[in-house]
Amino acid sequence: MDPGLERANEEGLTVVVTGAAGAIGAYVADRLAANPQIHELIAIDRRAADGVTRFDLLTEDLRDLITSADVLVHLAATPMGTSNDGDEASADKALAKRTLEAASSVGVRHVVLASSAMVYGAWADNPMPLTEAAVVRPNPEFRYAMARVEIEDMGERWAEETGNALTIIRSATTLARGRQNMLALHLRNSAALRNADGDAPAQFLHAEDLAAAVEILVAGRHSGIYNVAADGWLRPNEVIALRGVPETPVRVPGVVISAVSDVRRRLGGRTHPGLTSYLQHPWVIATDKLKALGWEPEFSNAEAYVAGHQPSRFDGVTAERRQELALGAAGAAIAASAVGVATVASWAVRRAGRR
C-alpha cells in the first residue's frame, strides 16, 4: 500500500477546502470538519471567516498550506458579475491552474474539482435527464460554462500526469439558505421575458445536499465524474409560482431576449445574453451514479429554490391580493412590453444586419 494512503487510513484524512468562506464552501467545510474520518480540515478563502485561513490563491503560494494534505477540494471561484465575464472565466482558470500545480508539487493524492451541469450545454436534442456519459458540449456564447470545461480538462491532465485521483462534481444551480447565488440571479433576471422558442425545465440543488455529496466522495475516496442535483425538475410555471411576483405573459423570440439581456447588462443589470439557450433548452441531470454510493438529496428543487430566494415586496401578501396585483401588473406589462420589445427587436434586426 502507498505509505501516504496507509497513514491516512490510520490517522484520518487531512483535507484542504478552497473557497471555504463562500455560501457553498462554508457548508462543505462544516460537513467535512464534523466527519470522524477527517483528522484535520484546512479551510482557506481570500475572505475572513471563523475557522477559515485568509489566503489569496491568485497571489500567494499554496504549497506550504497543503504539504500534509491527502485531499484537496477546490471550490474557489470568482463571483459572477455584470460585465467582463471573460475576465472572470480567466480568473477561475488561473485559480484552478495554480491549485493543481501546487497539488502536484507537494504530492496531494486526491483532488476534487467543482464544476457545473452547464458543461453539458442546453440543446434541443438533450435527453432528459443527462447522465455522466453524455457528451460535454457547452453553449459557446456562455463563457462561464466554457471555462468549467477547460478547468475539467486541466484536472484530467493533472490526474493523467500524476497518476493521482480526480473527482469532478457537476452540480445543478446551487442555492444556500439566506445567501444569494449570482448565477441563479442571472438566470432569474434573464428569464424576465418568456422565450417564444421554448421554456427549459429548471433544476436546483441545496448547498447542504452538495456538502453531503462532497463528504461521501471525500471520505470514500471516490474518483470520477458525479452529477449532483435535487430529484426531478420544475416546469417553468412551477418556478413562476415560487417567485411570488406578477408574471407577464409576453413571449418574444430568443434573439430579442439576448438583445434585451445585453442592453440591461450594459446598463448594470444582472442578466446575461449567453443564458438564452439555457432558458430555452433542457440541461437537467441524473444522479443515479452518486445515489449508488448512498447519497440522497434532503431538499427538493422547490425547497432549494426557496432557500436561496431573496424576500420581495410581495412576501406576506395574501394569495387573493397577490392575484389582484398580478392581474393589474400584467395588463400594464403587456402594454409596456409591446412597445419595449418592438423597439429592441428593431434594434436587434438592425444590429444583425450590420454583422
Which position has the grid cell 408574471?
247
Q: Residue 228 in contact with residue 259, Cβ under 8 Å?
A: no
Q: What is the DSSP string of 132-159?
A: TTSPP---TT-HHHHHHHHHHHHHHHHH
Q: Is residue 79 classed exposed, middle or buried when 0-12, 13-18 and 19+ CB atoms within 10 A define those classes?
A: exposed
Q: How many residues does the chain have?
A: 355
Q: Residue 167 in contact with residue 201, Cβ under 8 Å?
A: no
Q: How far is residue 309's CA from residue 184's CA, in Å, rounded to a whole number?
A: 10
pLDDT band at 323 (very low <50, low <70, confident <90, very high): very low
Domains of the chain listed by start with CATH number: 3-180+201-234+282-307 (3.40.50.720), 238-276+314-353 (no CATH)
Give the tens place of pLDDT for each residue, 31-86. Answer: 999 999 999 999 999 998 899 999 999 999 999 999 999 999 999 998 764 444 65
Full-model pTM: 0.80
Q: Which residues contact 253 (CB under 8 A, 6 or more apart)?
A: 195, 196, 197, 345
Give the tens place of pLDDT for each residue, 200-227. Answer: 899 999 999 999 999 999 999 999 999 9
pLDDT at 268 over 80: no
Q: Residue 182 in contact with residue 24, Cβ under 8 Å?
A: no
Question: Nearest CA to 42 among 132, 103, 117?
Answer: 103
